[in-house]
Amino acid sequence: MKIYKLLLFLLIVLGLNSCNQKQAKNKADGNVKYYRSIQFSETPWDTEKGLHELTAEEAKSINSYKFTYNDNKQLVSVEYNRNNVLLDYSSVNAAKLTYTYEGDKQIKRFFNEKNEPIKNGGASIFEYKLSDSGIRIAMRYLDENNTPVENRNKINNYQWTKLDDGMIKELRYNLAGESVVMNEFCPFFELRFSYDNNGFVTRMANYNADTLYNCTAENCGDIGVSYFKFENNASGDLLRFSVHNTVGQLSNLYWGWAKRVNVVDEKGYVVESTQFDQDNEYLGGKNVPVSKSEYDEHGALVKKISMDKDKNIVNNPGNGVAIVEYKYNEQGRRVETFQYDKDHVLLAEKK
C-alpha cells in the first residue's frame, strides 16, 4: 500500500511539472510572433507592425520578422532572420532593433547581422516619450553616448499630438529649437497623418496651422504638393502611393513621379511597381516606369528587372543597368550582387 501511494504521489508531481512546463512554453510562444513583412510607414511615430503572419515552423525556412513582446505586451525586439540567423537587408534598415522601457521613456536601438550596434540616419538611439496611455508623444535622436544629435535631415526631435479628429499632428525641431522640414526633398513643416480602423496609414498631409497647405518650393513641382495618399489592401500591403495638391490634382515630386502602383502576390511581396507622372502617364525621361521583382522560395529578392511601359526590358538611363540579381548563402545572407544590361551582359559584380 505504501509503494502504491508513493507511485501515485510521483505521478501527480510529474503531471503537475509537465503541466507547468507546457503552460510556460505556451506563454513564451505567445510572446513571439513571425511575419513576412512590415507595415509601410512614413513617420517614426509608427511602431513596427508585422504583416502576413507565419508559424514558428514556417519561419525556419522563410525570411521573416520575429517580433518579441514582454509580459506587459510591449514590443521589445524585431529581428529580420531565417531560422534565427540575422539578415542585413530588411525594410527597417537594421537586422535587429530593440526596445527598452524606463518610466515614460521607450528606448530604440539598432543592430547589424553580427548583432553589433549601428546607427540609423546618423543616430544611435531613438528616445521616445510616452503618454500615460502609452502613446508616443515625442522622440529625440541621441548618439552612442546619449548626447542629443541631429539626423541627416537636421532633425533632433519630434513632437506629436493626437487631434480630436483622430489625426496625428507632427512637428520637428533641430538642436537650436527651430522648426525643420521632413527632409530636403519634402519641405513640409507641420504634417498630419490619417489612419483607418486597421491602423493602416491613409494620408500624410501638409498643414499650416489648421489649414491644408500647398507647398510650392522647388522640390514640390510646378503645381505644388499638399498631401500624399496611400491605399492598402485588407492585409495592409501598400497598393498605391499618390501625391496631390490642395484640390486633389496629381503633382510631381522632386524625382518626377506623382503616383506609384504596386502589384502584390498572395504573400504580400511586391512583384511589380509602376510609376506615373502628374498627367497620369507612364513616367518618362531618364526614368524607368516599371520594375518587376522575383523572389525565391524563402521570400528573398533574387531579381529586379527594369521595363518600359510596354513591359520590354530596358537599360536604366542613369546607370545602364537593366537587371540586378542577388545570390545568397544557405543561411539566407546576401553574398553577391550582379548587374546586367538588357541583353544580359554582365556589367558589374558587387560582394
Compute the distance between CA of residue 122 and CA of residue 125 in angstroms, rounded to an integer.
9
Torsion of CA 140, 91, 200, 57, to 10 degrees: -120
* Of 1-5, 23-27, 138-142, the least confident: 23-27
* Of 13-17, 78-82, 161-165, 334-338, the least confident: 13-17
CA 338 to chain centre: 25
pTM of the model: 0.89
* Of 90-94, 209-213, 239-243, 346-350, the least confident: 346-350
Compute the distance between CA of residue 342 and CA of residue 306 in angstroms, rounded to an integer.
9
pLDDT tens-digit map of 101-160: 999 999 999 999 999 999 999 999 999 999 999 999 999 999 999 999 999 999 999 999
In this prediction, residue 13 has a pLDDT band, given cuts at 50, 70 and 90, of very low
**Shortest CA distance to 288 belongs to which of 319, 252, 254?**
319
Compute the distance between CA of residue 49 and CA of residue 35 in angstroms, rounded to an integer.
9
DSSP 3-state of 95:
coil
